[in-house]
């Protein structure tokens, strides 16, 4: 990540705000803090913010509605990392549907937060903004499959769900977001790497072959993921957005 | 005790029992009134027979006395009645009179003839009853009165009418019972389908007053249960939220401290506290399993994705046995969490986990999570599914755990319409089996 990335921390708890800010500063980031939505908007307007860390549970206007407002306004391109108090599927889904780029459950460790900030910045920078089709809450069709980005599973023509592992889902998401573009192994590794800070020591090649199996793709004559000699891989199916899910 | 035991005899359904009681009662009443009618008819016909005999016999005997022996035979058919006739011969041999009725008739004949003739009476046949009373006319010719007492014969259609009546009774009893018990059965069905965690429309208020009242009472009870569940969830969520902010603060503070044995221990305590809060909320939520709609799920794909996630994180989890093609309709997130809890448990106590599937009879499928750990004492296999229950040897801090993992798994299995069964493997270790409907 860029050494001068500017992070805005929005949390109603003063101690958390300050401790997070000082940890991020120690790791070379610039920080600004805000205690509520009003201060957040002021900070966004006056300084050049690269990423917002936003607490969901706040008195007054909560994080979810702030996030939705942010996505509708002039700062819609700023990535948002949500802090939620509950480790709950529905919270996660709602948060991502409101336009957050990622989420982290409280209590979190500062190391984890730093890693997530890095991953979100990396991902959003490597993508042309209009190509982020794989946002949560969407149904995406390609070939004979549909990808449910909320439930994180593939649906076949009969509507049977085929769940994906975390790494498989992240890789497929990267491919779908960059359909028809050749991606190098380095790029793939960077974009796919650990949301959950898990060890990721498998090579991209192994993961690609696992994903091919999942898609029932023939490795010798692949219809979905083609190998480009000495360059990397390309997702060669047309991707259609079937729309937002209810 | 014995009364209760008697009620366990078939038929077991209320409808069948009521039908049987009603039908038996009606049939008995019917039989009694029929018997009474029959008896009345019998008495009156006998009275009639005796009355006519009293006048007829002396008249006939006097007439025969006046006729010449040659003329008597010609009159015989004209003197014949339904229950007796005159014969110009001695009585047939036979025994003494067997019935009161026969003796009564003989005495009546004797009295009507003003005891002027010596009579000798003999029973000739017992079924049908027939007896002969012999006397000598004044010229010495024997005269026998052959009596075959009988009630007026029954009409041939009577048994048919009786059968039809019995059928009608049975039909009426069954209909009445059905009308009375059907609302009860519908009520029971409705109650069975209820899930207190779900806000459902109230039970229907149809049927007799008693059933309507039961339905209202049941609705009220269900509302109370729902309220308790919601309260429990709220309390846990509130506690967990209010704990999470201070825990986050403490965690950040500990991380900002210089690394030392003390801060390391503090961090471990915090991690344990955090786990407890998370599991507590997860347990409260596991009773509300229906957050996501069920889908048709390729079970093998789910198991593979679970195993891959663990393997990617460097955990010793493997798939065993033949892959399954089963595609149950279920909630993938809940099932994933359920299996995750079992796998975590297997890794914690058994070092490694192995996941496999088995098709079971009755359209069910079992997902087994096996480990090589010490297993669980047989006596505690059921108890460990209770929340906060922990085995004595796992209470030490180093194994950690909140005692909620298996309770959550059990709850989730129930919300998925399945069950969780723990079993010690013969080769050692524990087998946690999740049984799901296979379709």
| Residue B140: how many other CB atoms lie within 10 Å | 7
Q: Does domain A138-244 have CATH number 2.60.40.420?
A: no
Query: Of chain A residues 149-188, which have a CB less than 8 A from chain B?
Result: 151, 153, 155, 158-168
A206 touching chain B per CB within 8 A: no
| Share of residues in chain B with pLDDT > 70 (%) | 91
Identify the helix (H) or strand (E) that includes residue A44.
Answer: helix A37-46
- Complex prediction ipTM: 0.78
Query: Mutating which of A163, A168, A200, A213 best tests the B interface, going by the most B Cβ atoms within 10 A?
Result: A163
Fold equal for A6-126 and A138-244: no
What superfamily would CATH give domain A6-126?
A: Response regulator (3.40.50.2300)
Q: Which domains does chain B have, with CATH numbers?
A: 15-147 (3.30.450), 194-288 (1.10.287), 292-437 (3.30.565.10)
- Does this model's pTM top 0.80? My answer is no
From B248, B308, B312, residue closest to A106, measured CB to CB: B248
Decide which of B172 and B236 is more confident.
B172
A-chain residues near B305 (CB < 8 A):
163-165, 168
Domain boundaries, chain A: 6-126, 138-244
DSSP B309-373: HHHHTT--EEE-SSPP----EE-HHHHHHHHHHHHHHHHHHHS-EEEEEEEETTTEEEEEEE--S
Model confidence band, residue A97 (pLDDT cutoffs 50, 70, 90): low
Give the separation between CA B409 and CA B55, rounded to whole angstroms: 100
Model confidence band, residue A201 (pLDDT cutoffs 50, 70, 90): very low
pLDDT in tens, B195-204: 655 556 566 6
Query: Mutating which of B236, B242, B252 best tests the A interface, going by the most A Cβ atoms within 10 A?
Result: B252
Instruction: Test A19 with B278 for CB contact under 8 angstroms.
Output: no
From A13, A19, A159, residue closest to B296, measured CB to CB: A159
Peptide bond into B11 cis (omega under 30): yes
pLDDT in tens, A178-188: 888 898 888 78
For residue B11, give how far its alpha carbon lies from the nearest alpha carbon of chain A (Å): 46
pLDDT value at position B397?
44
From B241, B301, B309, residue closest to A162, measured CB to CB: B301
pLDDT value at position B1?
45
Peptide bond into A107 cis (omega under 30): yes
Model confidence band, residue B273 (pLDDT cutoffs 50, 70, 90): confident
From B250, B282, B313, residue closest to A198, measured CB to CB: B313
């Amino acid at each position: 990540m860029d050494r001068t990335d500017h992070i805005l921390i929005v949390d109603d708890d003063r101690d958390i705000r300050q401790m997070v800010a000082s940890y991020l500063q120690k790791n070379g980031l610039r920080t600004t803090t805000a205690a509520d939505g009003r201060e957040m908007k002021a900070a966004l307007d006056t300084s050049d913010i690269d990423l917002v860390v936003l607490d969901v549970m706040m008195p007054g206007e909560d994080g979810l509605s702030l996030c939705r407002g942010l996505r509708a306004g002039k700062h819609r391109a700023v990535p948002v990392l949500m802090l939620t108090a509950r480790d709950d599927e529905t919270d996660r889904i709602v948060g991502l549907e409101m336009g957050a780029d990622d989420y982290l459950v409280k209590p979190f460790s500062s190391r984890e937060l730093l890693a997530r900030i890095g991953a979100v910045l990396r991902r959003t920078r490597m993508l042309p903004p209009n190509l982020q089709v794989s946002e949560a809450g969407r149904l995406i069709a390609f070939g004979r499959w549909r990808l449910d980005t909320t439930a994180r599973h593939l649906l076949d023509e009969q509507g049977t769900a085929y769940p994906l592992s975390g790494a498989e889902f992240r890789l497929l998401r990267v491919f779908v977001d960059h359909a028809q573009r050749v991606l190098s192994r380095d790029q793939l590794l960077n974009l796919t790497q650990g949301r959950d800070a898990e060890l990721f020591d498998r090579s991209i090649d192994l993961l690609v072959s696992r994903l091919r199996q999942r898609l029932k793709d023939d490795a010798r004559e692949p219809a979905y993921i083609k190998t480009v000699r000495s360059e990397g891989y390309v997702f060669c199916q047309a991707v259609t957005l079937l729309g937002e899910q209810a | 005790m014995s009364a209760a035991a008697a009620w366990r005899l078939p038929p077991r359904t209320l409808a069948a029992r009521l039908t049987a009681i009603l039908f038996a009662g009606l049939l008995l009443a019917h039989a009694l009134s029929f018997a009474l009618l029959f008896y009345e008819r019998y008495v009156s016909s006998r009275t009639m027979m005796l009355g006519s005999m009293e006048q007829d016999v002396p008249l006939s005997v006097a007439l025969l006395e006046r006729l010449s022996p040659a003329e008597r035979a010609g009159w015989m058919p004209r003197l014949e009645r339904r229950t007796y006739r005159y014969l110009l011969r001695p009585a047939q041999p036979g025994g003494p009179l067997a019935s009161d009725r026969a003796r009564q008739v003989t005495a009546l004949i004797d009295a009507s003839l003003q005891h002027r003739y010596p009579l000798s009476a003999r029973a000739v046949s017992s079924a049908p009853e027939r007896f002969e009373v012999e006397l000598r006319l004044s010229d010495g010719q024997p005269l026998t009165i052959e009596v075959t007492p009988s009630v007026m014969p029954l009409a041939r259609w009577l048994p048919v009418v009786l059968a039809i009546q019995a059928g009608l009774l049975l039909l009426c009893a069954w209909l009445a019972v059905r009308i009375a018990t059907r609302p009860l059965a519908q009520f029971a069905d409705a109650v069975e389908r209820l899930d207190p965690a779900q806000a459902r429309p109230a039970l229907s208020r149809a049927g007799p007053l008693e059933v309507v009242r039961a339905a209202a009472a049941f609705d009220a009870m269900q509302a109370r249960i729902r309220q308790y569940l919601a309260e429990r969830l709220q309390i846990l969520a509130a506690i967990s939220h209010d704990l999470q902010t201070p825990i986050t603060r403490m965690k950040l503070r500990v991380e900002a401290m210089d690394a030392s044995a003390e801060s390391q221990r503090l961090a471990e305590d915090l991690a344990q506290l955090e786990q407890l809060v998370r599991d507590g909320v997860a347990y409260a939520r596991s009773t509300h399993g229906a957050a996501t709609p069920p889908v048709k799920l390729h079970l093998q794909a789910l198991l593979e994705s679970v195993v891959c996630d663990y393997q990617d994180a460097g955990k010793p989890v493997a798939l065993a046995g033949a892959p399954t093609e089963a595609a149950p309709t279920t909630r993938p997130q809940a099932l994933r969490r359920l299996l995750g809890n079992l796998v975590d448990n297997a890794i914690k106590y058994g070092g490694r986990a192995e996941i496999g599937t088995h098709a079971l009879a009755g359209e069910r499928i079992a997902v087994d999570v096996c480990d090589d750990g010490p297993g669980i004492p047989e006596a505690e296999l059921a108890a460990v599914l209770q929340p906060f229950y922990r085995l004595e040897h796992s209470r030490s801090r180093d194994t950690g755990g909140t005692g909620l993992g298996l309770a959550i798994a059990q709850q989730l299995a129930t919300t998925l319409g399945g069950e969780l069964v723990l079993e010690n493997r013969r080769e050692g270790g524990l087998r946690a089996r999740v049984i799901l409907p296979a379709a």
